[in-house]
Amino acid sequence: HKRFGSSVVLEKIDLTFEEGQISGIMGPNGAGKTTCFNVLTGRYAPDRGTIRFDGKDIAGLPPQRIARMGISRSFQIMNLFDDGTVIENVMLALPEFRNARLNVTSAVFKDQAMINEAMEVLTQVGLQDLAWQPSASLPYGSRRALEIGVALAAKPKIVFLDEPTQGLGAEATKNLADLIRRLKASYTIVLI
């Protein structure tokens, strides 16, 4: 359950996502889909109820802790570092980056193992040839793929994608749908 003041946004929501499957949440604008993602990923705490992941109740845990447990997400409005390159966006999301606790401009971007790991993620989303390009220079569809790459860099078990094809033309939508189908082999995916 989730409410904002007198507005009830989520009530008696009961969902289960099967491992290795693609699941979808559909509904009109304002139906609470993004709020549901926000509750499931820790951005908002539920007002009542439980959220179970790997046998544990994670309701109300901070988003960073939920992410470390294996839940990752993209956003309806993209969250990329436009001042950085494509590969830097992915490297910043790697658990090894967080564990290194290094200055962003220091040795972390010279760590070949981390570069290789980031390149593996970029290969998954088809952006390996654009790794050293400024992320701001990417076409919109590639930026959406990069955002998915950033979500995958966290090494999740489940990935929540909030309207990943929003604003894309027919060809870019097809390409992104193909990418999501390929990712299903390695991830549980839930999308709006």
Pairing of strands 7-10, 2-4: antiparallel
Q: For residue 106, give every residue at least 6 positions away whose Cβ sits within 8 Å of its Cβ, in sequence order, or none.
A: none
pLDDT at residue 152, rounded to an integer: 92
Q: Which residues pair with 53 in a beta bridge?
A: 56
Burial label, 64 (beta-carbon count in 10 A; 0-12, 13-18, 19+): exposed
Distance CA 133, CA 135 (A): 6
Give tens-digit pLDDT for 48-63. Answer: 999 999 999 999 999 9
65 burial (CB, 10 Å; 0-12 / 13-18 / 19+) is exposed
What's the pLDDT at 108?
59
Q: Is 25 left (phi over 0), alpha (psi -120 to 50) or beta?
A: beta
The pLDDT score that the predictor gives to residue 89 is: 77
pLDDT class of 138 with cuts at 50, 70, 90: very high
In this prediction, residue 24 has a pLDDT band, given cuts at 50, 70 and 90, of very high
